[in-house]
Amino acid sequence: MNRAEPLLSVRDLNAWYGESHALHGVNLEVFKGETVTLLGRNGVGKTTTLRAIMGLIRKRTGQITFDGKDLMHLPLHRTAHAGIGYVPEERGIFATLTVDENLILPPVVADGGMSVEEIFELFPNLKERRNSQGTKLSGGEQQMLAMARMLRTGVKVLLLDEPTEGLAPVIVQRIGELLATLKKRGMTILLVEQNFRFASRIADRFYLMEHGKVMAQFPVGELPDRMNLLHDVLGV
């Protein structure tokens, strides 16, 4: 795959919750090794975009291509197997299982995933807590575990929904460092983030969403020129 061919491509994506039309033709692309952030106010459709890519919203139209595969026509259980790791906002840690058990539960979908020992090198705090139950973890530890367990599976892209939400600044910084390390290791990341300062430090490119569609996109280098727009749209 070369730079001209995106790893993930979304074209004219529409999605509905019952009769409620939530996405109105989203277009976006993520290239291999990029960190791309979806920005936008509450309710503009960022989470819905991730869920529609994963196939968790079945009432959808448009085209979604990942690593050369057409995701629109895959059954739900095949989407994760195609190599996309989704970390939802609510994190989805199994409360009654230990850190170790949570880590080994998701099935390996492709070669190239990290071993549990490699994961513990990257997340030493999880190693210390390896026998603790999910319920006993702090919010930051749960977020790290939710990300860490995807790394074992060999996924090629991570879809992360607001990984810093509700976390203390020092933990937010730690998550930023982890994402930078994953990026150095070649991981491709599509991030939904309300914390603009956090996103501006780690993203290569931004998509700004409004009313269920992308209203602007720009690389990190254009951030200074886009601050007025971001101020108007996001209030930052």
Ligand X SMILES: Nc1ncnc2c1ncn2[C@@H]1O[C@H](COP(=O)(O)OP(=O)(O)OP(=O)(O)O)[C@@H](O)[C@H]1O
195 binding ligand X? (CB under 6 A) = no
20 binding ligand X? (CB under 6 A) = yes
Specify the residue for token string 């880590």: 103
Instruction: Find the part of the chain contacting ligand X (CB under 6 A) among 16-24, 116-124, 127-135, 217-225.
Output: 16-24
Compute φ and ψ for 76, nearest 5 degrees: -50, -50
**Least distance between ligand X and beta carbon 50 (Å):** 8
Q: In what order do the strands lie in the sheet with 213-219?
A: 84-87, 157-161, 188-192, 35-39, 205-210, 213-219
37 binding ligand X? (CB under 6 A) = no
76 binding ligand X? (CB under 6 A) = no
85 binding ligand X? (CB under 6 A) = no
CB nearer to ligand X: pick between 47 and 164: 47
Q: What angle, rounded to 10 degrees, do the helices at 169-184 and 139-151 form?
A: 10
CB nearer to ligand X: pick between 44 and 148: 44
Instruction: Find the part of the chain contacting ligand X (CB under 6 A) among 38-46, 107-115, 123-131, 138-146.
Output: 38-46
Judge contact between 149 and 122, C-beta under 8 A: no
- The Cα 11–Cα 220 span in angstroms is 22
Residue 29, judged by CB atoms within 10 A of its CB (0-12, 13-18, 19+), counts as: middle
Of the residues 37, 48, 153, 195, which one makes contact with ligand X according to CB under 6 A: 48
Q: How many CB atoms lie within 10 A of CB 90?
A: 11
CB nearer to ligand X: pick between 3 and 58: 58
Residue 206, judged by CB atoms within 10 A of its CB (0-12, 13-18, 19+), counts as: buried
46 binding ligand X? (CB under 6 A) = yes
Of the residues 35, 47, 79, 164, which one makes contact with ligand X according to CB under 6 A: 47
42 binding ligand X? (CB under 6 A) = yes
Interacting residues with ligand X (CB under 6 A): 17, 20, 22, 40, 42-48
